[in-house]
Structure 1
Amino acid sequence: MLKAFEEHIKTEFPTLYQGRFLLACSGGVDSVVLAHLCARSQLDFALVHCNFKLRGEESDDDEVFVKKLAKTLQREFFVKHFDTDGYVSKNKVSIQMAARQLRYAWFDELVEAEDYKRVVTAHQLDDKLETFLINLSRGTGIDGLLGIPERTDRVLRPLLQFSRAQVLEYAELEGITWREDRSNLDTKYLRNQIRHQIVPQLKELHPTFLENFHKTQEFLQQTASIAENHVEEVRQRLFQESNGVQKISVDALLALRPTTAYLYALFGVFGFREWNDVESLLSATSGKEVRSKSHRLVKHRKHLLLQAIGTGEDQVYTISEDQTRINEPLSLVIAQADALGNTSRQILYVDKETLKYPLTVRKWKKGDYFYPLGMKGRKKMSKFFKDEKMDIISKEEQWLLCSGTDIVWVIGKRADERFKVSSRTTQILKFSVQE
């Protein structure tokens, strides 16, 4: 197995030779064998162990075992204790989900703090089969049928082509000792039911069942790659990006068949999961929206608008009287002018004496109004936006230059009548938006 493992690393995971990585070790046979294989392959790694404090002394004994293994292999060792039960109670998730979330969050922290390149886990082929069956039992698409991926942005799983039987055989031949987690025998957990009751029967159906499953996974992965390439072509054709907002024609989406499948393929990567709501958005009125944890989809007339959700509240930026430039939230140059020059939507001339400092640059708020240049009377910003046919995202992204509570300039769109240069003006101030 060592030779096959080394060839697999050289072919599929050459980056493991290019920098140190973290190897997650529970003390079980899979991760202990992986640690020995990596050590004998002259790879540079440290062992990391999670003590979830779920099995009393047994959990602590696992920690001691992995610490001794790290010493034997002459590797750095990291360990963290978790209040897993407390996390379950607070977040209302299963123990298995809690352990997973806690584990990978800590791994991310370690990678950043300790300058390690990757995290390697010891999932093997039987684990992948179990995950496949779990996803199949719950209902899934091709992503779920692919089971555990060999690699993500940070996590690599080089044992996925090896079976549990191969791992056990190698451990016994090499005299490798490991820890048994008795909870793995408890069939109250779905994975254990599948592992001990269903998988053995499937393997009895055909002597090469596991190998056949591995081939099927490779075929599914190839099919998924073809589908992914097609979806990316469709995305490139339909998604029109401008200022961080993607604009997608509703008619073009409705022309895709099957529509729901395409919606999943196009928008699933942005975290959307409520597909009935997403599909309903196609026939909704303007202004309706659906949100994922990271993005929002907004209906605007005959288009959907896709935007990443920002963090935190909108800020207010100040401009002092002696300031000549700001770079946030946009690039704005302020200069004295002797006379009116060429005007455009990106240039504003004002009577300086009408301004109250400090000036501010902010987003619009409900109830805002101004006096549009060249018009009599005031207009609410909401009415101005409607007349300009601005979509909801453009409204939210619009910056205003303000003097006190008064709007001086809807930046890049319309100036306010009250601050215009007149025959009585003695000081002219020029504001220029820089691209």
Structure 2
Amino acid sequence: MMDRLALGLGSSAMSLVVFIGAVHVHFPSDALVERARWEVQRVSDGDFALEASGAGWWMPGGITLTDASLLKVDKGRKTRGAEEDGQSGTPLFRADSASVRLALLPLLSGTQVAQFAAEVYGGEVSGEFGESSTHRLVTVQTDGLDLSRIPIEGADWSVDAKGTLRVDADLALATERGKDAPDSEGRVLLEIDDFEIANSTVMGMDLVAAEFSEAVLELEMKGKKAEIERGRFESDLVDLTMGGHINMSSSDPNRWRLRIELMFTLGESLDTMAAMLPSLKRARGEDGTYHMLCTGTWGKPVCREDRSKVRSERPTPRSARSIGLGDIEDDGSSPASRRKKRRTRTDDADKRREDRRKRLEERRERLREERPPPDEEEFDNNGPDVELGPEFDGPDRRPPRPFLPGEDNDMPQQRPEFDDEFPPPEFDDDAMPMDDQQDDVEYDD
């Protein structure tokens, strides 16, 4: 009996070894790689592309892709002559190996779950992704992800970070929409151990290095919103605290609505540089704390100063009347005494107004006395010295207009020209007096 049992076990083991060897030898690697590419392109509607050098078998019922890369496809217009099957895009991440398989036990309950595992960025990532009748299930765990291998950069900035990233996510996101849709559940934890920014560049300027004593972000699903339960990044360079929520009611992640509050303080060097940026300068409070509010969508966030927080920290000036009344109300005196003080303050104010009015009248009268009389006023100091006749006397007299160039009256007048065709005038002798009846007139040469 024992011999038969041992023989049966040995035969089963040998069959399994032969089966595994045959699968590895005759495994359709190229066909599976092409199938995986097509599935990724179909599910993402052409937004992502998958590249891999080969495929293997992942027991039980799964496959493993080696040198796998996920690309963000550029949907720009293709040039003439470009290959139809060629993919061009931005690399999102690269994994030394990526494995995926279909979980068998969840199928008994009507839930389709795909399990995955990958060796990426010097660490390991594992989790599950599936769907039920009402929710989308996402589970992710990481171990030993090296931040120095993860590119963190943008159009005008780049960060060279170091540390170990740990992600622990367990989410059940509702797939139905509307008021009667079920709520989403779960939590997400992101924590970085030994977080350090060795080098960072913003708009061409190099920033100093920073070591963080705490770097953690935790979110919890409440209804259709992901509330930020804990968000803290603390160092000598920057001390950041986060709050707010992400509204995930839309099925498209790019349309998730944001309302994230950022409150942070900067080191002396960064604070000086922030004063040159108008957006940060407006967000700075009186105590040196910056208040920012990020709104918009997940695909297009918009960050600006949180005006409500900045204004609330600034002191509001009060009028002299409100300050005086406040002093009266807070001195602890009786109501009758407070009323007497109010009357006294009112009488004093009336007296000050009357004194101010009298001083103004006295000043006006003094200016009238100091003003010269009209007869002594000089109208035009630059004009000629002309004696005016009595016809110019009166309240409306005006000084003569000075002669302009070319208007000198002492210049001899030109003799008018006569037409030679006309004869000289003739005079009647009877109408003219006799020469002897006229007085002799002598002319001085």
**Category of TM-score, reference length = shorter chain:** under 0.3
Structure number having the greater helix percentage: 1
Structure number having the greater strand percentage: 2
TM-score (norm 1): 0.20
